[in-house]
Amino acid sequence: MTLETMPLSKALNAGLRKAMEDDPKVLLMGEDIGKLGGVFRVTEHLQRDFGDRRVLDTPLAESGIVGTAIGLAMTGFRPVIEIQFDGFVFPAFDQITTQLAKLTNRHEGALSMPIVIRIPYGGHIGAVEHHQESPEAYFAHTPGLRVVSPSTPNDAYWMMQEAIASNDPVIFMEPKSRYWVKGEVELDASAVPLHASRVVRTGSDVTLVGHGAMVTTLLQAAALAEAEGTSCEVVDVRSLSPIDYEPILNSVRKTGRMVYVQEAQGFTSIGSEVAATVMERAFYALEAPVLRVSGYDTPFPPAKLEGAYLPDADRILEAVDRSLAY
């Protein structure tokens, strides 16, 4: 097994590079992704190595970028789009939800839309308005779109390649606060299926579930809980649409308790959906209500207040204590 340690941003870069080497129909599009290599340098050196006909710097027009990618996909290409920041995706929302998501169904399956839309999302970087949002539920709510979010460099490397290989459109949510955090990447291993949830820490008392950057926070909370005598199992959802429920349900049947944690607002969110499904499918295994810890139901605050807005280990442990108190 070949292991290499790299930050998540470089793992994404390596995944993109491998996909471009394997398939000449893969091309990249986005604002400042060429010579600059993207704001977060995820596409660094790819234009140098593959040329400006496969790594295209686009105008600042997200709707136009998505519309162009749809046309390219119709002619056999596999475009990968970068949306520079999460809050910038909304000018393209109509193209994504009313065109891209529906075209395959509109053509009764005869037309594929192999497009990946990369969206850096979430907080923890002290940015300004429109640069720290969590819009994943909008896309998971839309039939015809697949939505995934890696939490580790290894997942980033493999999930990017699997997303590009998909014949359906994939919204690829990249937790920007994890871009610079290093981890081991198995360069020649078998990939975990794109839409598989995964237990990343075993435990017996409470199941902690989340996605993206929150998985690291869950692991931190689980370590603190263990020091206090509570055993927490941690499940990384990885795929937000479709959701692989079996690892979650199996864990809940073992522990009898569950807490879902997310950066996004709690109202009508991924956490809401998972909580409802667990209540439906594992009700008799539950010893306490499913609890949620999330961002608050307000716009994302100024950077100096993000620490009070985003879930942290203390808020998770408080929910664990409430769950155990039932």
Question: Annotated active-site positions, please?
Answer: 131
Phi and psi for 96 in degrees, rounded to 5? -70, -50
Q: Are strands 182-186 and 170-175 parallel, antiparallel or unpaired?
A: unpaired
- According to DSSP, residue 150 is labeled -
| Residue 274 to residue 296: CA distance in whole angstroms | 18
Longest Cα pair distance anywhere in the chain, in angstroms? 60
Angle of helix 214-227 versus helix 313-325 axis, rounded to 10: 60
Contact call for residues 213 and 263 (beta carbons, < 8 A): yes
Q: How far is CA 303 from CA 132, 294, 296, 307, in A?
A: 9, 17, 15, 8
| Residue 18 to residue 314: CA distance in whole angstroms | 40
